[in-house]
Amino acid sequence: MSAVSVDFQTSSVSDATSLTPPHDQLDALESEAIHVMREVAGEFDRPVILFSGGKDSMLLVHLARKAFWPAPVPFPVLHVDTGHNFDEVIAFRDAVVERYGLTLEVASVQDYIDDGRLSERADGTRNPLQTTPLLDAIAEHRHDAVFGGGRRDEERARAKERIFSLRTAFGAWEPSRQRPELWNLYNGRHKPGEHVRVFPLSNWTELDVWRYIAREGIELPSIYYAHTRDVFARDGMWLTSGAWGGARDGEEVVTKTVRYRTVGDGSCTGAVESDATSLDEVLAEVRGSRLTERGATRADDRLSEAAMEDRKKEGYF
Amino acid sequence: MTDLLRLATAGSVDDGKSTLVGRLLYDTKSVLADQMEAVERATHGGGDPDLSLLVDGLRSEREQGITIDVAYRYFATPRRSFVLADTPGHVQYTRNTVTGASTAQLAVLLVDARHGVVEQTRRHTAVMALLRVPRLVLAVNKIDLIDYDEATYLTIAKEFHEVAESLGYADDALVAIPVSARVGDNVVLPSERTPWYDGPTLLAHLEDVPVDGPDAEAPFRFPVQTVIRPRTADHPDYRGYAGLVGAGTARVGDPVVVLPDGQRTTIVGIDRFEGPQEVATAGESVVLRLADDLGVARGAVIAAAEDAPEPVTEFEATLAWLHEKPLVPGRRLLVKHGTHTVQAMITEVRDRLDVQTLERAPDPDGLEINDIGHVAITVAEPLPLDDYERVAATGAFLVIDPQAGDTLAAGMRM
- What is the mean pLDDT of the segment spanning A261-271? 81
Which of B28, B83, B93, B105 to mutate against chain A (most A CBs within 10 Å)?
A: B83
> Which helix (H) or strand (E) is A274 found in, with range?
none
Contact B190, B183 (CB under 8 A): no
Tell me the pLDDT of chain A averaged across its residues: 83
On the CB side of B91, CA atoms within 13 Å amount to 4
Q: Which residue of chain B has the CA closest to A180?
A: B99
Residue B408 at interface with chain A, using a CB cutoff of 8 Å? no
Residue B97 at interface with chain A, using a CB cutoff of 8 Å? no
What ipTM does this complex have? Answer: 0.92
How near does any CA of chain A get to the CA of B316, in Å? 19
Quick count: other Cβ atoms within 10 Å of Cβ B38? 16
Inspect the interface and report whether the beta carbons of B285 and A42 lie closer than 8 Å. Answer: no
Report the alpha-carbon distance of residue A261 to residue A269 in Å, rounded. Answer: 9
Higher confidence at residue A71 or residue B39? A71
> Where does the pLDDT of residue B31 fall: very low under 50, low under 70, confident under 90, or very high at 90 and above?
low
Inspect the interface and report whether the beta carbons of B232 and A309 lie closer than 8 Å. Answer: no
Three-class SS state of A92: helix
- What is the mean pLDDT of the segment spanning B201-227? 89
For residue A39, with 0-12 CB atoms within 10 Å meaning exposed, 13-18 middle and 19 or more buried, which class applies?
buried
Q: Which residues of A touch B207 (CB under 8 A)?
A: none
What Rg, from alpha-carbon coordinates, does chain A have?
19
Quick one: which of B384, B382, B388, B380 has its CA closest to B319? Answer: B388
How near does any CA of chain B get to the CA of A113, in Å? 32
Contact B286, B246 (CB under 8 A): no
- What is the mean pLDDT of the segment spanning B238-257? 97
Torsion angle (degrees, nearest 10) of CA A13, B76, B246, B229 = -30
* The amino acid at A3: A
Which of A36, A65, A156, A208 to mutate against chain B (most B CBs within 10 Å)?
A: A156
Q: Which residues of A touch B230 (CB under 8 A)?
A: 70-72
What phi and psi values does residue A148 have, to the nearest 5 degrees?
-125, 160
Q: Which residues of A touch B34 (CB under 8 A)?
A: 291-292, 295-296
Hey, which residues 327-346 in chain B have their CB within 8 Å of chain A? 336, 338-339
pLDDT surpassing 70 at residue A299: no
pLDDT surpassing 90 at residue A193: no
Q: What pLDDT shows up at residue A241?
A: 80
Which residues contact residue A252 at a Cβ distance below 8 angstroms, ignoring those fewer than 6 apart?
A232, A233
* The amino acid at B51: L
Quick one: which of B179, B199, B177 has its CA closest to B20? Answer: B179
pLDDT surpassing 80 at residue B62: no
Alpha helices in B10-138 (DSSP H): 17-27, 33-42, 59-64, 94-102, 119-130
For residue B15, with 0-12 CB atoms within 10 Å meaning exposed, 13-18 middle and 19 or more buried, which class applies?
buried
Inspect the interface and report whether the beta carbons of B4 and A292 lie closer than 8 Å. Answer: no
Report the alpha-carbon distance of residue B3 to residue B260 in Å, rounded. Answer: 35
| Angle formed by the axes of helices B94-102 and B119-130, nearest 10° | 40
Inspect the interface and report whether the beta carbons of B396 and A152 lie closer than 8 Å. Answer: no
Q: DSSP of B196-247, one letter per residue? A: T--S--HHHHHHHSPP--S-TTSPPEEE--EEE---SSS-TT--EEEEE--B
Higher confidence at residue A230 or residue B31? A230
Closest partner CB to A160 (pick from B57, B102, B398): B57
Closest partner CB to A183 (pick from B33, B322, B396): B396
What digits encode the pLDDT tens for the residues A52-94? 999 999 999 999 999 999 999 999 999 999 888 888 899 999 9
Report the alpha-carbon distance of residue B139 to residue B179 in Å, rounded. Answer: 6
Contact B97, B131 (CB under 8 A): no
Inspect the interface and report whether the beta carbons of B74 and A181 lie closer than 8 Å. Answer: no
Q: Which residue of chain A has the CA closest to B275?
A: A17
Inspect the interface and report whether the beta carbons of B34 and A71 lie closer than 8 Å. Answer: no
> Where does the pLDDT of residue B353 fall: very low under 50, low under 70, confident under 90, or very high at 90 and above?
confident
Tell me the whole-structure pTM to 2 decimals: 0.90
Contact B102, B130 (CB under 8 A): no
Inspect the interface and report whether the beta carbons of B96 and A180 lie closer than 8 Å. Answer: yes
